[in-house]
Amino acid sequence: MSGKNEAAVKTRKKPLGLRIKNNIGFYLMFLPVFIFVLIIYYWPMLGIRYSFYSYKLRDIHWVGLEHFKNMFAAKEFWIAFKNTLIISIVKLLLNTFAAVLISIFLNEMTSLFCKKFIQTIIYLPHFMSYAVVAAIFTLFLSTSSTGMINETLKSWGWIDKSIDFLHTPSMWQPVFYIINLWKETGWGTVIFFATLSGISPELYEAAEIDGATRLQKMRYVTLPALSNTIIIVLILNLAKVLNIFEPVFVLYNNRVFEVSDVISTYVYRKTFLTAIPDYGYTTAVGLFKSMVGCILMLLSNFASKKVRGRGII
């Protein structure tokens, strides 16, 4: 063993040029991937410099921190920033809670056929695009005679007048959370159900011998086994809370901007729905979002080290 270690040390101490020459084939295989990563991921980062320029059509000139001052002074930006945090964090917590709950109930089912059937049914919405999901729920929630939800509530006598769910500020966020639960909860159960499948049956047998009921086994065996996975999922997703775009974009409208506009849709509107957009300003907003995301990633990594004993990056 000591001879092998000494050989490994000697290999590592060889000059870089010699190591490249000896392994030229591997470096040539890696070169296309390396070039691809540089072009796709790092070359666009040079555009960060436009955060400090005014970029309107062909009029490009240095403005320094002017865009950041305007951004922090803009009420619309802070509304979008607040909505991004609220919508993303509530969505994350609700989806995680629902996924855990469904995973536990599926794990408690004794019929394998029913378990597989329900798993398949709740997984299917994940594979639908948000554009299709938005079209389906827009139809269901319509105020016209084709709106199944409003017509059903009327027939039950619960309401007299149709509710415009997607155009009412007080209703938009709850409806958005329900739609996301319907679409993403099934896929979220994959991780938790895999964890539950790895729990030793001996733990349940020991609990049953001690006289534990089914609810007590869920409380003292199942949930503790899931706790570490739940924390990891929350930590890993915390860094992505500012990246929400498509789910909001396909469902929001002018009448609910105050509760639905997020940073990504704010950038989209300032870039593509403005007569003469200032690309420098929208680049500055994107840079700020990336910086906050980086801070959240570092916090997530710190939390992961505390909880798991190792970081995520």
pLDDT tens-digit profile of 132-174? 999 999 999 988 877 888 888 888 888 888 888 889 899 999 9
List C-alpha distances in Å: 184 to 94, 104, 243, 282. 10, 17, 16, 30
Question: What span, in angstroms and rounded, lies between the C-alpha atoms of 300 and 232?
Answer: 9
**Helix/strand number for the chain, H first, E second:** 16, 2
What's the pLDDT score for residue 190?
84
What's the pLDDT score for residue 312?
63
Evaluate if residue 5 carries a pLDDT over 60: no
Whether the predicted model's global pTM rises above the 0.85 cut: no
pLDDT (average), residues 79-91: 92
Which segments within the chain are labelled E, that is strand? Answer: 53-56, 59-62
Evaluate if residue 30 carries a pLDDT over 80: yes
Which domains does the chain show, CATH number per domain? 2-62 (no CATH), 66-308 (1.10.3720.10)
More confident residue, 97 or 232: 97
What's the pLDDT score for residue 68?
93
Evaluate if residue 307 carries a pLDDT over 90: no
